[in-house]
């Protein structure tokens, strides 16, 4: 069993925020097509391709992917990219993070910009311990430089007491596993689980994760 965490890092889009629902609503308001699962995957894959190239902000990557895949007007696409941190939280996110933050620092490791942090934290009604984003390191996940920046910022050494939480194996859990972190998979709608060897803890939502970590903390304290 993994040890009690001394740091919890979270993917944001698709794990804390309902990425697909938020994007679909914005695309509809901009007069774009219905964002079904196939189109959503195409947008995600286009973003991954752009993220592997010369660095640009996530707002720019979002705008380019929406114009390229969905044919959105560039100005409308740019506006969506600037407001992605306003996409809705999953209903369990805010309360679960408040519970988890009583046990260990909670931080974001996210393919986003600094400008998106206040948008997300306003919805959470709390400040995260750290916000390590692609803009910090000039690279996007799954690049390990994002995790190395998190380690330096939080003052921790990668290992099993650092739990990384994500709904996306391809962006997150492959790298987290290679660094020896405890890998937590959240089975969100449209998640990408990867192979079983990438997962130490599997939960349906963050409420279940909070309950799991609280039990582990109680067990540790009782010893």
pLDDT category of residue 218 using cuts at 50, 70 and 90:
confident
For residue 18, is pLDDT > 80?
yes
What's the pTM? Answer: 0.95
pLDDT category of residue 190 using cuts at 50, 70 and 90:
confident
Dump pLDDT digits (tens) for 116-146.
999 999 999 999 999 999 998 999 999 999 9
3-state secondary structure 68-137: HHHCCCHHHHHHHHHCHHHCCECCCHHHHHHHHHCCCCEEEEECCCHHHHHHHHHHHCCCCCEEEEHHHH
């Amino acid at each position: 069993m993994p040890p009690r965490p001394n740091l919890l890092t979270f993917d944001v889009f698709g794990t804390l925020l309902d990425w697909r629902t938020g994007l679909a609503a914005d695309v509809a308001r901009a007069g774009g097509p219905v964002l079904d699962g196939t189109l959503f995957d195409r947008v995600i894959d286009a973003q991954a391709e752009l993220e592997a190239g010369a660095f640009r902000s996530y707002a720019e990557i979002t705008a380019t992917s929406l114009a390229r895949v969905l044919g959105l007007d560039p100005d409308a696409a740019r506006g969506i990219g600037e407001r992605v941190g306003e996409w809705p939280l999953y209903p369990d996110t805010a309360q679960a993070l408040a519970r988890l933050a009583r046990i260990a620092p909670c931080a974001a490791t996210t393919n986003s910009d600094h400008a998106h942090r206040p948008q997300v934290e306003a919805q959470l009604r709390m400040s995260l311990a750290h916000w390590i984003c692609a803009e910090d390191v000039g690279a996007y996940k799954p690049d390990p430089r994002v995790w190395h920046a998190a380690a330096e910022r939080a003052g921790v050494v990668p290992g099993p007491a650092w739990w990384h939480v994500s709904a996306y194996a391809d962006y997150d859990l492959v790298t987290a596993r290679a660094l020896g972190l405890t890998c937590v998979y959240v089975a969100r709608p449209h998640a990408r689980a990867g192979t079983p060897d990438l997962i130490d803890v599997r939960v349906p939502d963050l409420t279940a994760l909070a309950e799991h970590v609280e039990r582990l903390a109680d067990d540790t304290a009782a010893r």
